[in-house]
Structure 1
Amino acid sequence: MDKKSSIAVSTYKGYVDRNGVSRDDVKSFFSIDTEDENLKPTLLSNSNEENVWEKLRYELETCNEFVFAVAFFSEDILVPFKAVMADLNESGIHGRILTSDYLYFNKPKVFRELMKIANVEVRISSKKGFHAKGYIFNHSKESYKTVILGSSNFTGSALLKNYEWNLKFSSYDNSELTTQIFENINETWCKSVVLSEKWINDYQKTFDLLQQTQKREIDKSTSTKEESFDGYTTIKPNKMQKDALVELNNIRKSGEKKSLVISATGTGKTYLGAFDVRQFNPKKFLFIVHREQILKKSMKSFMEVIGGPSSNFGILSGTKNETYAKYLFATEQSLARESNLKQFRVEEFDYILIDEAHRTGAKSYLRILNYFKPKFILGMTATPERTDDFNIFELFDYNIAYEIRLQDALKEEMLVPFQYIGVKDFEVDGKRVDDNSSLKYLASEDRVKYVLDQVNYYGFSGATAKGLIFCSRNEEAQLLAEQLTRMGHPTQSLSGQNKIQEREVVVKKLETGEIEYITSVDIFNEGIDIPCVNQIILLRSTQSSIVFIQQLGRGLRKYNGKDFVTVIDFIGNYKNNYLIPIALTGDKSRNKDIARENVNFQPTIGLSTISFTKVAKERIFESLNNIKLDSLGDLKEAYFELKRMLGRVPMLSDFKKYGSVDPNVFADSKNLKNYYEFLKIVEKYRPLKSELNSKLTMLTKELLNGKRPHELILLNLLLKDKKVTVDRFSNEVKSYGAQINQSVIESTKRVLSLEYFTKTGQKNYGETSIVTYKENSFLLDNIFNDFLKDEVFKKFVLDIVQTGLLNAKDYDFHEVFTRYKRYTRKDVSRLLNFETDCTSTIYGYKVANDCCPIFVTYKKSEEIGDSIKYQDKFLDSKTMKWYSRSNRQIQSKEIQKLIEGVSNLHQKRKIYLFVKKDDAEGLGFYFLGECLIDGRTIVQEELKIDDSTKKPIVSMNLILDKSVQYRRFLDITTSISN
């Protein structure tokens, strides 16, 4: 046997089947034309596109049992792991974890957290120096195992961030390598120690002694804090602060006198202000905020940065009047009093800084700002969005020096990570918590016990719980505090009726550990800093994304001994559940597809994780199905928010550039024909002539999505030069990385001449051409050229073209379709260069001369007729069993045309597979790839319509060119209804 054959046999026996194998077996094995890419050996690592945790989670969710042999664990990643295990426990799936006390890396609390997981048995290896990192998943139904071996321990950093190498492979249960691994694990398992509370207590003693010894050594070797010449600790700006300081300086150099910084809570806004004041070096400075408790902390931060004698710093509040100070820190209430304002000259302060600047619409703030005439004013806020009509951006002359939102701050590790868990709220006899639940139900003993079970299961970072519990009403907060206290968890409630001093006393109790929780409704949304908070518990519906982020932000400040904050969201039968994925990811697109994907894919943000248990997912999908994200009211709200920010009427391209509403939402709206019609409503724009409006509608509905750039590229050229040769057009298309051939050129001609569209389409879009073709060149149609003399019309045409080209950047044009992007039948008809728009006749598939697009709705509606309710089904992540229309036989002309040339997994026509889970997802289907027909599986079958009626139908297996990615395959094929 030659070397190549020897390697083949060794590979087969090692990874597939260790039983005897012949040359014919090897030849047969290596001649297989199809493979499931999810089973292929793969190198796993962490990147912006994927991480190791995602692959582990997929394997956990699809296996029937598992074994981890891993030395090191961390609490952060145990939180999302527990969410997966909670669902697996419902399905009766168990696992084993073999770990160690190696180097005493694992904190004792980690072992206690592992013991909370009911469906996991944990043992401690007795092997000295146990440092394994292996994950084994058993898929017994398919008789194979998946193994992940490499460098990743079960820690947040290793599974989400660090540069790691892990080999993932799958094999039969009896492969040599799998057998060796299991024999090794079982041998070690049998000699290991069962994890128990006694073992943890003994481990704790040694662990604590080692920690004390290490601390003493560190104390000996660590010098005192670095101090500046004036005795103050040297504080250096972080990355965000450095960038913002440069921009603030540039804004002032350009002659501007006002600026706004938008920065997530906990990212160092106050220090940034201090750094900028230091670089400005004012003769006199004023800091304004709405609460005295914030004032004192802010002044302390400024003293640390600026230095100098303490007499330079003073407070103006209800209790102090230190107006002599060079750096004056004032509450807005005190400063706004007429008697206090008149103490100062209008030009008293060179530099004024307003913290929580989103409050500046209040009369008291405006009175202050209208009085003073400083050289520079800086506003700082985490949430510039307002629910009233006040325009904070206008107040600061639309000068945004810097913006860092929550998701960016988390990626930059400026905040402590959050571990979000969405769980179902309490239920009794099918009754769910909803917006109208009675107080008796909300604060019942059974619900409180259920909440405590979840809270204790998911835990917190640190030695003791320090949590905020947000409730739906004040009475609930008070009763919950009483119940929790009776059950051994000291809790106090606060409401808007409590005075500032009372709140400060309760917060102090939380910080010192006298109480574990504070229950409230909305009073901790902003304006208070409690860095020790390590648990946030949401027992109310999400009313707005802004409030959700404000409440989440209460736990994101870094604090000694806190590695992350646990966020437990009890998701009841709330109509606003759809806001949860929108708020967590910062998505403002109002695109349901994106919201669904964020629930299904549960993305990570830096070291932060998002997890939904199965029932919680169902609650959110129910909400998404029942809500209109693109209602006229919603679009108006987003429009005016962007207008306030820009100081002018936004164009469609602005929505794309500034991460607001997806421009395609305007295009897809059933209530609007084009964006100009929207502006007619919100800005009372004059009506356009019907011919002009029709053309805007055509460009919007057909081209704005950017799914094919060719028409947009040609129009962009023609709007600059009235004549464009085919060669120039082709070269420009190629520069975009897109394909071009004669079929595409002809299709582009037909679309822009309107010949492509049906008579109804031509009537809706205006029957005159946009582009004509003559002597190997494209020209703007004379009538359309006349339309462009209307400057308003021309402006909106340009905007559609530019927005479409921006949208096109989301696609890969090396092929006709981009994998995992959504396409409607209308999109596919145009992109496949069909001579006319055959959207209404494609139905499930269309066999054309050179191709066949196939559209599959995986979960058929109960309302559709039995004659089309055939069950297309994935056999694995690369193979779909597909059915033709009914009343078709193998010898039918349509079927013969489809299977023409099929042999050895080759065929004459390209087959494109588009799939969506169900009709709730709208008109778009995900493009999953090109398919080949497995000729061996073409079968004549019968479709049963009723007891007496059967119709002929043809089935066959479609083999995708690539396996469907893990999460998407799971989403399509699982039973959760979305």
Structure 2
Amino acid sequence: MSDTASQLTLDNTFGFLNSHVNADQVFHPTLISNSDGQTMLKAILDELKRSRNFVFSVAFITPNAIALLKQSLLDYRGTGTIITSTYLGFNSPAAFRELLNLKGVDVYVHPDSTAGFHAKGYIFEQEESTTAIVGSSNLTAKALLKNHEWNLRFSALPDGDIVHQLKSAAHAHIEASTALTRKWIDDYELTWALQPRPPLQASASMESLGDLPPRGMIVANSMQVEALAEIQTLRDGGENRAVVVSATGTGKTILSALDVRAYAPKRMLFVVHREQILDRAIDEFKLVLNAPDSDFGKFVGSKRDLDRRYVFASIQSLSRPENLREISPDTFDYVLIDEVHRAGAASYRKLIDHLQPDFLLGMTATPERTDDFNVFELFDYNVPYEIRLQKALKADMLAPFHYYGVTDYVKNGEVIDQVADLSRLVATERVDHLIAQIEKYGHAGAPVKGLIFCSKNDEAAELSRILNQRAVHGQLLRTRALSGANSVEERERAVQMLESGELDYIATVDIFNEGIDIPSVNQVVMLRQTLSSIVFTQQLGRGLRKAAGKDHLVVIDFIGNYANNYLIPIALFGDSTLNKDSIRKKIIDAQEAGAIAGLSSVNFDAISRQKIFASLATTTLDSMSNLKKSFVDLKNRLGRSPQLIDFARFDTVDPTVIATKQKNYWTFLNKVGALDVQAGAFEGAVLTFLSGELLNGKRPHELLLLETLLSHPKGVTVERYQNLLAASGLVNDSPTLNSVQAVLDLTFFTEAEAAKYGAEPIVILRDGAYSLVEKITMAWDTDTIFRMHVRDVVDTGLYLARHRYNWSGQLEVGRRYSRKDVCRLLNWQSNQQSTIYGYKVDTFSDSCPIFVTYHKGSAVSESTKYEDEFLNPSTLTWHTRSRRTLASGEVKAIVENRLPLHVFAKKDDAEGTDFYYLGRATSQDARQTKMSGKSGHDVVSMTLGLASPIESSLYEYFAAKTPVI
């Protein structure tokens, strides 16, 4: 029996007959219901990665679902077939055009019939097996990610009867079908257009729709209901100013109009920074307020309708001294300022200082600034409502986007990107590359309405000229370049042409970063370096508004050899932790899940992905300048110096990063000038210990004991502490208690570490009770700053234990740990990180951690350069240290599985000191061999079978080699 047959037999036995059987769980039957992270999309992506042929037979397909799978299908090296239908007219011509655009995939259309084509089956053929997923999911974004579905994944050997049945069914579908061609789609489109379509459901956030409903029909969505309630609560508390932070496209204008309707002011003033925004704002307010046209007026240019109830004005007109003099400070009882992050400008300050409304509301998507202006201070730090991009996507307030990071043009091994001169930027070969990527990743089924962001205005102009001579999908392109030199009228005309379908693309640099509303934009092309995550998000946001007939936004980002490529995932994931591990994990998780917030996805081609990881490895995210900026941003938000718990709750900088940069947070505050008083030597050492060892929350046990002792300075009995751990759902056996005590009395640490931490215990155990040492209690009682910082570290560590880890204090598969973390969490007697050398059998704790650095650098000596390698997601070939034989004591303990084996891995040393925990393993097939290379030392080779397979994306991350450009 082959290895695959044995594995499949065990997996099917595990799945169908006996779940206690020890199986690899690679082929085991699984119910996929879009719950607990096990989505249909993830299942399909996983199977594509390990198959050589696939057949999908599904009734319904949407362009959005094709976009979710596109990068994986482009990367696919096998053959594929998709069978679908015209059943009920669900599949649009756009969907069929997107299918036809998939290279290397054969597509067939089953004829409509009275029986109805309603198949939902996915077949994947591997080298020695076949896997199928059959159930309820069509190939639509919601069926792949959100809907409650039931799909059964199962596997069989090639000669299994179910495989013959599946192939026979697929063959019958193909035999009855017609191959998809462009002519077939053209003919289908003529008849499909005549079929009745289901009515479009209107969104409550009407700012997101191209077609607005009749007056009197606007009602708040769930998010807006929450926001309106919070604004009113704030007013009821006597506050007269507030700022709303809401991502672009989430309906800020409608929200403000709804609040105006609730407030019912006698006079309202709406202030914008661009004149062209006014008319749309007026239209939306009219729909919400259901007031006569005579109530609305404009104050801009020659229009001076100051006598109207609702006045919409530009800041340029209002701030002129002669105009301000005409407006009495109490003219308006409600004032609204759009894009209020600009209010640091003198024109805004003049206006705000002059007016005295009963209520002032500001709206912005980007409150964090680089000009030292604190928008929160202007509004008395009142933020009743805040919804950022990720939350808005999850709430389905925005159009889903599919981001594709692709490598910029490569010539003679050199990437031609933004740093090149103009002639190379618009060279024929680079334009060819741009066209090829647009045809590959862009819309094939819907007319494109796109923005191209360039690095220079002359590049935009020349690129537009060249593109107007080129075609995409056989259609001659129509583009226009715009810059700050173009008048408002010229810009508005170009936008109108784009929305009406007279233009395909507008090429620009940065004039569309904000303050422009083009809901129909369905494609954003980025041909420039990402210099700011804020600007990246602004440009992405140009296409995130919902619009009638808009299925999704496509983002094509051309990635060059830029040192700051790491800003791309920071912007895409909204990750402001300044923690490389966090960002790296989000990239891997996005690849694993196939989607991020809501129905959106992030994809990189192989070279671009490596460029992102390389940029992340070489940057210094936690520089003092970055940390200080993040500190100031949160300080501005709060109106006070933030504590560590604030960084955790507001999900900004990782508290462990900012707390340990200067050994402890007190010292950091001294460094940035936020605190004049310096910590004493003892107090500083204690805080350095707490910050460096306990703050990360990887084990809550020590923190819980400290929290209890700070409230009970006379001491706590061991029994009471054990009961507390039990009540908290934590392990409370003797080894764990001994480990906790060793950490808190510093005997766990090396002599050098203990000296750094003050060389004195924090907690002592005497006569069956724990107590703080006297110096701690004295400092706690007499030093309020010390007390605040200790409390902050303990509270934050417990918060992270609950919200970042699973609270158990046990090793978690998929999490990252240092060697020291592992010594502590496995209850070792002391920190032996410096002597582990890849693995160590610890008889004190009866455990053996194994640390694998998958890609060893050139500096690694031959005697330690082992050829460890994953055979599959469940099995790793592993080698012991050199000069070891099967008779060596430590080797025998491992080979005979006398003690638990815990496997940890990282890709290379550029990742730092932490390793991913892969779980428990079992040693198998040990054999004596020689090391490769000159040394030829004895070594023992074996396979380590993991208790559960690692995620496919993590497996690929480890195994992937840097592509050669």
Task: Return the TM-score normalized by structure 2.
Answer: 0.93
State whether residues 95 and 445 of structure 2, in contact with CA within 8 Å, keep that contact through their aligned partners in structure 1: no
Aligned to 1:908: 898
Report how far residue 599 of structure 1 moved.
2.2
Aligned to 2:885: 889
Aligned to 2:816: 822
Aligned amino acid, residue 526 of structure 2: L
State whether residues 700 and 808 of structure 2, in contact with CA within 8 Å, keep that contact through their aligned partners in structure 1: no
Q: Any runs of at least 4 consecutive aligned residues in structure 1 with deviations exceeding 6 A, and if so which?
A: 29-32, 215-218
Aligned to 1:569: 557
Would you say 1:238 and 2:235 are equivalent positions? no
Residues in 1 aligned to 2:660 and 2:922: alpha-carbon distance in whole angstroms: 33
Q: 1:921 aligns with which of 872, 889, 911?
A: 911
Aligned to 2:286: 303
Report how far residue 667 of structure 1 moved.
4.7
Report how far residue 895 of structure 1 moved.
2.0
**Per the alignment, do residues 897 and 62 of structure 1 end up closer, same or farther by CA in structure 2, a change over 3 Å counting?**
closer
Residues in 2 aligned to 1:520 and 1:658: alpha-carbon distance in whole angstroms: 35
Aligned to 2:110: 125
Would you say 1:134 and 2:121 are equivalent positions? yes
Alignment of 1:96-495 (within 5 A): 96-126=81-111, 128=113, 129-140=116-127, 143-211=128-196, 232-460=215-443, 463-487=446-470, 488-495=476-483
State whether residues 122 and 194 of structure 1, in contact with CA within 8 Å, keep that contact through their aligned partners in structure 2: yes
Aligned to 1:725: 717
Residues in 2 aligned to 1:738 and 1:530: alpha-carbon distance in whole angstroms: 54
**Per the alignment, do residues 921 and 430 of structure 1 end up closer, same or farther by CA in structure 2, a change over 3 Å counting?**
same
Aligned to 1:872: 868
Aligned amino acid, residue 41 of structure 1: P
Moved more, 337-346 or 870-879: 870-879
**Per the alignment, do residues 33 and 307 of structure 1 end up closer, same or farther by CA in structure 2, a change over 3 Å counting?**
closer
Per-residue displacement from partner, 1:107-156 (whole Å, max 9, x unpaired)? Answer: 1222222222221111223584332111111221xx11221111111111
Q: 1:764 aligns with which of 756, 761, 769?
A: 756
SS at match of 2:578: coil
Moved more, 452-461 or 508-517: 452-461
**Per the alignment, do residues 232 and 813 of structure 1 end up closer, same or farther by CA in structure 2, a change over 3 Å counting?**
closer
Residues in 2 aligned to 1:300 and 1:878: alpha-carbon distance in whole angstroms: 59
Aligned to 2:580: 592
State whether residues 857 and 917 of structure 1, in contact with CA within 8 Å, keep that contact through their aligned partners in structure 2: yes
Report how far residue 940 of structure 1 moved.
1.6
Aligned amino acid, residue 872 of structure 1: D
Report how far residue 33 of structure 1 moved.
4.9
Aligned amino acid, residue 693 of structure 1: G
State whether residues 63 and 137 of structure 1, in contact with CA within 8 Å, keep that contact through their aligned partners in structure 2: yes
State whether residues 699 and 809 of structure 2, in contact with CA within 8 Å, keep that contact through their aligned partners in structure 1: no
State whether residues 71 and 132 of structure 1, in contact with CA within 8 Å, keep that contact through their aligned partners in structure 2: yes
State whether residues 462 and 534 of structure 1, in contact with CA within 8 Å, keep that contact through their aligned partners in structure 2: no
Per-residue displacement from partner, 1:538-592 (whole Å, max 9, x unpaired)? Answer: 1111111111111111111111111111111111212221111111111111111
Aligned amino acid, residue 346 of structure 1: P
Residues in 2 aligned to 1:150 and 1:593: alpha-carbon distance in whole angstroms: 37
Aligned to 1:70: 58
Q: 1:692 aligns with which of 679, 683, 694?
A: 683
Q: 1:755 aligns with which of 727, 747, 768?
A: 747
Residues in 2 aligned to 1:417 and 1:950: alpha-carbon distance in whole angstroms: 56
Residues in 2 aligned to 1:765 and 1:636: alpha-carbon distance in whole angstroms: 25
Residues in 2 aligned to 1:971 and 1:574: alpha-carbon distance in whole angstroms: 21
What is the aligned residue count?
929
Alignment of 1:459-858 (within 5 A): 459-460=442-443, 463-487=446-470, 488-602=476-590, 603-667=595-659, 669=661, 672-683=662-673, 685-722=676-713, 723-788=715-780, 789-809=782-802, 810-814=804-808, 816-849=810-843, 850-858=846-854
Report how far residue 490 of structure 1 moved.
0.9
Residues in 1 aligned to 2:438 and 2:933: alpha-carbon distance in whole angstroms: 51
Q: 1:930 aligns with which of 896, 917, 920?
A: 920
State whether residues 462 and 561 of structure 1, in contact with CA within 8 Å, keep that contact through their aligned partners in structure 2: no
State whether residues 82 and 106 of structure 2, in contact with CA within 8 Å, keep that contact through their aligned partners in structure 1: yes
State whether residues 674 and 696 of structure 1, in contact with CA within 8 Å, keep that contact through their aligned partners in structure 2: yes
Aligned amino acid, residue 243 of structure 2: L
Aligned to 2:31: 43
State whether residues 409 and 417 of structure 2, in contact with CA within 8 Å, keep that contact through their aligned partners in structure 1: no
Residues in 2 aligned to 1:704 and 1:874: alpha-carbon distance in whole angstroms: 34
Residues in 2 aligned to 1:50 and 1:526: alpha-carbon distance in whole angstroms: 37
State whether residues 87 and 112 of structure 2, in contact with CA within 8 Å, keep that contact through their aligned partners in structure 1: no
Residues in 1 aligned to 2:249 and 2:374: alpha-carbon distance in whole angstroms: 24
Q: Percent identity?
A: 44
Aligned to 2:206: none
Report how far residue 482 of structure 1 moved.
0.6
**Per the alignment, do residues 166 and 641 of structure 1 end up closer, same or farther by CA in structure 2, a change over 3 Å counting?**
same
Residues in 1 aligned to 2:94 and 2:734: alpha-carbon distance in whole angstroms: 67
Residues in 2 aligned to 1:589 and 1:216: alpha-carbon distance in whole angstroms: 43
State whether residues 739 and 827 of structure 2, in contact with CA within 8 Å, keep that contact through their aligned partners in structure 1: yes
Residues in 1 aligned to 2:428 and 2:872: alpha-carbon distance in whole angstroms: 47
Residues in 1 aligned to 2:342 and 2:224: alpha-carbon distance in whole angstroms: 23
Report how far residue 499 of structure 1 moved.
1.7
Residues in 1 aligned to 2:775 and 2:199: alpha-carbon distance in whole angstroms: 86
State whether residues 660 and 688 of structure 2, in contact with CA within 8 Å, keep that contact through their aligned partners in structure 1: no
- The unaligned stretches of length 5 or more in structure 1 are 1-11, 219-229
**Per the alignment, do residues 942 and 668 of structure 1 end up closer, same or farther by CA in structure 2, a change over 3 Å counting?**
farther
Report how far residue 329 of structure 1 moved.
1.2
State whether residues 215 and 287 of structure 2, in contact with CA within 8 Å, keep that contact through their aligned partners in structure 1: yes
Report how far residue 47 of structure 1 moved.
3.0
SS at match of 2:936: strand
Report how far residue 813 of structure 1 moved.
4.6
Residues in 1 aligned to 2:597 and 2:108: alpha-carbon distance in whole angstroms: 32
Residues in 2 aligned to 1:931 and 1:215: alpha-carbon distance in whole angstroms: 54
Report how far residue 956 of structure 1 moved.
2.4
Aligned to 1:951: 937
Residues in 2 aligned to 1:829 and 1:673: alpha-carbon distance in whole angstroms: 22
Aligned amino acid, residue 930 of structure 1: R
SS at match of 1:868: coil
SS at match of 2:269: strand
Residues in 2 aligned to 1:154 and 1:834: alpha-carbon distance in whole angstroms: 51
Aligned to 2:208: none
Residues in 2 aligned to 1:491 and 1:815: alpha-carbon distance in whole angstroms: 58
